[in-house]
Amino acid sequence: MPERKSYHHGNLRQALVDATLALIEEKGPNGFTLAEAARVAGVSPAAPYRHFKGREDLIAEAALQGFEIFADLLQHAYDGGRPSPLAAFETVGRAYLHFARTQPGHYIAMFESGVSVAGNPELAQAAARATSVLDEAAQTLTAHLPPDRRPPSSLVSHHIWAMSHGVVELFARGAPGARAPFSPEELLESGIGVYLRGLGVITD
């Protein structure tokens, strides 16, 4: 059980989000109640209802904050495609893995809690900002391909997103290297390389 925290007046909403993130990491997104989040935050069971309708609403806020952090991180990593589109794309992949490792509560709330992104306009906007970084990177990488061989950039970005998520789920959780003789970074970068060569983006 996460350690009980002393709540200081003035930041109840964030105290509850922080408690939720700790509980998600320990028990998963469905393994705790709203009353338990209140207890970890050091407030009464009724206190969360000042800001949230229920547990799902609280998890959605954790996911929203996660997507905002995630989008900022990916944008910083991409850095406008510098020093080259391919190098920037690889840096974005490493940033994805870094986020999953360092923000596990947010990551689970975003991608594994069942929270409805489409049903929450603010959440959908934050998620779209993160996706747009991958879309821009994919569009830049594939721009030189002949039109008849150029896949939609959104298709490429979603393929890379799926590959990144798979590496996180299979190889970046728990002890790194425990299930493969390669690091998650090596697995992701080599996988991206094979994929981009198959598209003709990389020819050497």
Q: What is the pLDDT of residues 90-113, one digit of tens each?
A: 999 999 999 999 999 999 999 999
Domain identity same for 98 and 126? yes
pTM listed for this prediction:
0.89
Number of other CB atoms surrounding residue 102 within 10 Å: 11
Banded pLDDT at 27 (limits 50, 70, 90): very high
Number of other CB atoms surrounding residue 93 within 10 Å: 24
Taking residue 149's Cβ as centre, other Cβ atoms within 10 Å add up to 9
User: Does residue 29 form part of some domain?
Assistant: yes
Tokens representing 156 are 């490429």
In a domain, 161, yes or no: yes
Residue 26 lies in a domain: yes
Q: What is the CATH number of the domain that holds 110?
A: 1.10.357.10
pLDDT beyond 70 at 3: no
Same domain flag for 102 and 166: yes
pLDDT digits (tens, 9 = 90+) for 28-82: 999 999 999 999 999 999 999 999 999 999 999 999 999 999 999 999 999 999 9
Asked if the structure places residue 3 within a domain, the reply is no
Domain of 35, in residue numbers: 12-50
One domain for residues 154 and 111 = yes
Q: Are residues 38 and 126 in the same domain?
A: no
Instruction: Determine the residue type at 191.
Output: G
Token readout for 79 is 């850095």
Within 8 A by CB and 6+ apart from 13, the residues are 51, 61
CB 141 within 8 A of CB 86: yes
Tens of pLDDT, residues 139-197: 999 999 999 999 999 999 999 999 999 999 888 876 544 567 888 999 999 999 999 99
CB 93 within 8 A of CB 56: no
2, part of any domain: no
